[in-house]
Structures are given as structure tokens and as C-alpha cells.
Amino acid sequence: MNNYRDLKVWQMAMMLTEDIYRATESFPSRETYALANQLQRAAVSIPSNIAEGHARNSTKDYLRFLSISQGSLAEAETQLELAHRLGYVTQAVLHRLLEQTNEVGRMLHGLRSALAVKLSPTP
């Protein structure tokens, strides 16, 4: 792949980020610079780190940035759960967004596993 935009995981992460932004539009105004902002930042970090890692010149760096993406994904999942507990998102919205996070997580794991093989010494 010559361009990170061709990666399905990046495309899915972008869709997730868009959907999280849309979901946070309905948060109370007092959350604009609190949970909504934190959730948006975690979401943006997912595709951003995929792109930045892809642009690096080494597989080791790429793996590090994918690991950061996975951490941001877990952060976003936690914040979505909190938003649901606080009544900011419905069960249906939470379920849909968590399905997306699960899919992005599986794809990140698969990409990381494929790249890790490149770093493994061959016998």
C-alpha cells in the first residue's frame, strides 16, 4: 500500500471518528470542553496514528503508532461507556459505536500481527 488512505482500517477509523463527532453533538453544553472534547480527541487519534505510522520509514515505528491507535481506541470505548452511563448516548448508539470500535480493533490487531511477522527473525 502506497497510501494510508487505501487502508481499510484507516477508512473504518475515519467513519468511527465521524460517528463519534455526530454523537457528541447532543452532549450537554457543559460537556463541550470536558467529556465530548476528550472523546473527540481519542477518536481523532485513532486514524491519525494509523496515518502517521504508515508514513514512517520503519516497521518498528509503524507498529508503535498502531499500538498508540489501539490505546486511543480503548480510551474512546471507555469514554463512550461513561457517556452512556451519564445518559448522553442511548443504548442503541452505544451498541452501534462499540460494534465499530470492535471492528477497528480487530483490523488494527490483524495489521499489527502482519507487520510483526516482518520483524520476526526467520529461521
pLDDT by residue for the chain (123 residues), tens only, comes to: 689 999 999 999 999 999 999 999 999 999 989 999 999 999 999 999 999 999 998 999 999 999 999 999 999 999 999 999 999 999 999 999 999 999 999 999 999 999 999 888 766
Closest CA to 79 of 47, 36, 45, 44: 36
**Dihedral of CA 49/59/12/89: which sign?**
negative
3-state class (DSSP) for residue 14: helix
Asked if 105 and 92 count as a contact pair (C-beta separation under 8 A), the reply is no
Domain that holds residue 57: 4-119
The pLDDT, as a whole number, for residue 1 is: 61
Number of domains in the chain: 1
Instruction: Give dist(CA 49, CA 56) in Å, integer.
Output: 11
Q: What is the CATH number of the domain that holds 79?
A: 1.20.1440.60
Give the global pTM: 0.94
User: Is 12 buried (19+), middle (13-18) or exposed (0-12) by CB count in 10 A?
Assistant: buried
The pLDDT, as a whole number, for residue 123 is: 64
Quote the longest CA-to-CA distance of the chain: 59
